[in-house]
Amino acid sequence: MSYCNTGKPVSKNYAPPIMGNGEIATCLDYEGVHNFYAEFEPHKTDIPKCEIWWAGRRYMDTFNRELIPFGQIKQKLTVDGLTVQDPVSWRQELNNKNGLISCDCLYENEINTQTEAFVHYGCNVIAVRKRFLPGKSGEYEFIYKLCNQNGGKIRRFQYNCIQEKNGVAIHYTADGQESYVGVIRVFADKNVNIRIVDDSICLSAEVKNNDEFAYFISFHDDAACEGTSKALRSKIEKTGFDGMFSESKALWDSYMSESYVEIDDEAVQDAYQTAQYNLKVYTTPWSIPIGINDLLWQGRYFGFDEYFSFTALMTSNHTELAKRVPVFRKNGLKRATDRASSFNVNQARYPWEAVENGEEGSPMGFWYDHIFHMANIALESWEYYLYTNDFDFLKNVSYDVIKACASFFLESMVYKFDDNVIIGKCSDLERLGASRLNPYMSSCSAIKTLQTMSKAAKVMQMDEELAAECDKAAEGLLKSLPDNGERYVPYQGCEQRSIAVFAGLYPYKVIENDNKLQLNAMEDYVKYEKQYGNMYAYGNSVSSWYASWKSLAYSRIARAEEAFKALKQVVSSCGCFGEVAEINEPGIIIKPWFTTASGAMIEALNEAIIQSDEDEVRLFMGLDKEHKNVSARLLTVNGVMVDVRLVDDEIQSLHFKKNEYCKRDRLTIRLNRRFDTDKISDAAYFYEEDGDWKILKYEI
């Protein structure tokens, strides 16, 4: 389904839709160019400026490793000697299944322009097609401006232009994290006049009613960039806009078909689809940043945040994309151990915001004292193995990372005083401030990492003594989690509330479902969440990320009504195209197209329908009674795809498919208690043809 936005003036909820393929990323406004910028109240509107960015291409000379900007798309339409601008009405759509953006702008005197645009899924090319209805002949100029996000010159960037038929080849060098040498080609599919003015490449032509022109911008900086760039241009000239889009669409179709969720709630379905689209657009060859632009932390990789997107990709069976995350962390292990280890201890301390070579890219701040991201890095390494059952990957990639993260907690953060085992002072969630002793979420993260190390060691049949030490430390930390006698608290003596108290269930499942201290902590937080539900201390709503986090915790304890209510909170703050933001509520919109929230929202809906661990698969634990028609095909632990269909609140089909590494020959299925097991236990289609797969039990 497409999302659309119509009207003028621009809604305060409007942020241009993103296009991308994990490398090239941009957003086009409602005119199909890069003119839009937010003019609303400072500090309450934080929307990326329209610009072209390229993942991994960044500077070395700034402390926070800024991305190198790659210019903007501008235009100029002239009719009767007057420049046509500022539409009186407009419509913009994003097809969130294949990445096609469509814009329809009506200007004064009934002048109309229509735009279609996409970034190709498999190659670094931006394609823009314009259709003109000027009423009479006019002149249109497509402009690619080599500039930074403020319209100025790009720093440390040298280039020269060579005119070609209907276009220009821009050969450049950029002095950054690496020495980048590349070529950008800008060209049209029809005859155009070419002007090069300052830093602008201008392709102009006379246009009349129903004329169509397609424009392409390609980017290459591989070792043979000139040859590959020419070959791509030749291919585009042969296949045209439609052929390139068909090819890109087929790749999008393949990605989207790797799993699915369908639910009888249009708003939730649409937000889920946009979130799936968002993750693919922003999953780079390295890992998953929060976004690929200057506003979203310069495309750096948060060890904490990437986990939420990783689990969404894994459970959605996008395993090849998800695999990049633990591989990236293994590639960065040497730098992480150099940061933390002595000569005889192999512990790691990963950066808070890594760049592509594994170095820290974050500006200085007390977030350097976070430790819970170490758990997320260990978990994504372990969970890739859990979901695929790929032992070689555990042996060659994951295990060293898990061991080094667990060693960090044991050697640097776990303290024993008398009979108490605690986590030393660190920064927990940032609203709680710095230097908190034994904070709840950080303690849960350490417990989960230590437990994970013990499990991994048993699978590997090695490090028996270290595994025993991990088990002992985890047991001690569980006993010393901070509480006030009635409920867990973010840290001892804390008077604030925090989403951190949900962490014992998600993302670190270390607390039993019926633990009263945990349940009371969750209930207490919900009472105050309008005060404490945003990532920053302003606004009076609940951020989409935190709402999804809450939903996941409730799903894991089978509190379906609360779980789905939280999912509806997520949807209520979606933007014009179904996108989630860091914060989006009346009067405040901050950082839309926020992958952390997209990943958490996907995982929340996935787990509402299908959850799994090493022991069982659980169905519909987070699905409330109002939603009676749901189907899904998702990946579960041990490399098993589960395909289930609920029709009028009765399970109509349930099928399983094993991957190449799966060694299971039977499954335990646990159902939400509201289902009638007598009805479904006799259904023959609950069994696979080979007879290996059987539902062993239902537990009510």
Dihedral pair phi/psi, residue 618, rounded to 5°:
-120, 130
Q: Are 322 and 379 in contact (CB under 8 A)?
A: no
Q: State the span(s) of the chain assigned CATH 2.70.98.50.
A: 2-256
Question: Is the four-CA dihedral 241, 243, 246, 251 of positive or negative sign?
Answer: negative
Instruction: Please give the torsion angle defined by the CA atoms of residues 189, 194, 197 and 199, in that order, rounded to the nearest 10 degrees.
Output: 30
Q: State the span(s) of the chain assigned CATH 1.50.10.10.
A: 318-527
Dihedral pair phi/psi, residue 38, rounded to 5°:
-75, 135
> If residue 411 lies in a helix (H) or strand (E), which one and from where to where?
none
Q: Is the peptide bond before 507 cis (omega within 30 degrees of 0)?
A: yes
Q: Are 394 and 386 in contact (CB under 8 A)?
A: no
Which residue type occupies 357? N
Number of other residues whose CB lies within 10 A of the CB of residue 475: 13
Whole-angstrom CA distances from 688 to 157, 403, 428, 685, 693 are: 60, 38, 47, 7, 6
Nearest to 56 by CA among 204, 203, 221: 221
Which residue type occupies 75? Q
The DSSP output letter for 443 is H
- 3-class DSSP state of 238: helix
Q: Which residues pair with 647 in a beta bridge?
A: 650
> What's the pLDDT at 44?
74
Q: Which fold has domain 2-256?
A: Beta-galactosidase; Chain A, domain 5 (2.70.98)
**Whole-number CA gyration radius for the chain:** 26
> If residue 647 lies in a helix (H) or strand (E), which one and from where to where?
strand 640-647
DSSP secondary structure string, 276-302?
Answer: HHHHHHH--SS---S-SSSTTGGG-EE
Nearest to 441 by CA among 452, 451, 430: 430
Angle 474-346-344 from CA coordinates, rounded to 5°: 115
* Cα atoms found within 13 Å of the Cα of residue 27, Cβ hemisphere only: 27
Contacting residues for 475 by C-beta, under 8 A, at least 6 apart: none
Scan for tokens 């042969």, then name that residue.
Answer: 238
Q: How far apart are CA 358 and CA 336, in angstroms?
A: 8
CATH architecture of the domain with range 318-527: Alpha/alpha barrel (1.50)
> What's the pLDDT at 40?
61
Whole-angstrom CA distances from 662 to 310, 424, 656, 688 are: 21, 40, 12, 15
Q: How far apart are CA 693 and CA 642, in angstroms?
A: 11
> If residue 187 lies in a helix (H) or strand (E), which one and from where to where?
strand 179-188
Q: How far is CA 275 from the centre of its chain?
A: 8
Say if residue 156 is exposed, middle or buried (CB neighbours under 10 Å; 0-12, 13-18, 19+): middle
Nearest to 102 by CA among 91, 89, 88, 86: 91
**pLDDT means over runs of 10, the chain (700 residues):** 60 88 96 82 75 96 92 95 91 96 94 97 98 91 95 95 97 95 97 96 95 97 92 97 98 97 96 97 98 95 97 98 98 94 84 96 91 98 97 98 97 91 94 93 98 98 97 97 97 94 97 97 95 80 93 96 96 92 85 95 98 91 95 96 92 86 80 64 38 41
Question: Is the four-CA dihedral 354, 358, 363, 368 of positive or negative sign?
Answer: positive
Whole-angstrom CA distances from 604 to 317, 402, 578, 653 are: 15, 25, 16, 22
